[in-house]
Amino acid sequence: MSLKTIEPLRTIEQRRAQFAYGKIEDVKNSGNKNYKSLVRGFASTILLNGLGQALAFLKAKKKDHHLALYNHINLWAKKHFKKQDGFDILNAIGEEASSSYRLYTKETLAFLVWLRKFAEAELPDKE
């Protein structure tokens, strides 16, 4: 095996940042103009209402930017916690132990830091 085939070791912050940047690029290419304002305040929504209620809110709204943010959080959780296909974070927090709920909340908040930073840098403000 050559050194070129070995994936470089990355810190968790680097992995979060790389994943978040890719999702912001997807949003930028989709032309979604409401995502930036949603991601700006979503960490506060989680802190005020809890992760479960905040995610349920995103799913219930069914607007493109709400569903995009839900999907980004879900995909990151699936990747970070090495979950199987069909994983849904909202279902998981309802079925798993309370310690898992705290882990999902902590990781989601850490991931949102990067989403917010890249959204601020890369996405235009709503007109």
| Per-residue pLDDT at 89 | 96
SS (H, E, C) the chain: CCHHHCCCCCCHHHHHHHHHHHHHHHHHHHCCCCHHHHHHHHHHHHHHHCHHHHHHHHHHHCCHHHHHHHHHHHHHHHHHCCCCCCCCHHHHHHHCCHHHHHHHHHHHHHHHHHHHHHHHHHCCCCC
Tell me the two tokens of residue 29: 């290419």
Structural domain count, the chain: 1
Q: Is residue 39 one of the residues assigned to a domain?
A: yes
| Per-residue pLDDT at 5 | 53
Q: Is residue 72 one of the residues assigned to a domain?
A: yes
The CATH number linked to 51 is: 1.10.520.30
Give SS3 for 31. coil
Q: Is residue 93 one of the residues assigned to a domain?
A: yes
The answer to whether 111 touches 46, Cβ cutoff 8 Å, is: no
Q: Is residue 106 one of the residues assigned to a domain?
A: yes
Query: Rounded distance, CA 45 to CA 57, Å?
Result: 10
Q: Is residue 99 one of the residues assigned to a domain?
A: yes
Of all helices (H) and strands (E), which one includes residue 49? helix 35-49
The tens-digit pLDDT sequence of the chain (127 residues) is 444 555 567 899 999 999 999 999 999 999 899 999 999 999 999 999 999 999 999 999 999 999 999 999 999 999 999 999 999 999 999 898 889 999 999 999 999 999 999 999 999 987 6
Q: Which domain holds residue 58?
A: 31-121
Q: Is residue 41 one of the residues assigned to a domain?
A: yes
The per-type count for the chain, helices as H runs and strands as E runs, is: 6, 0
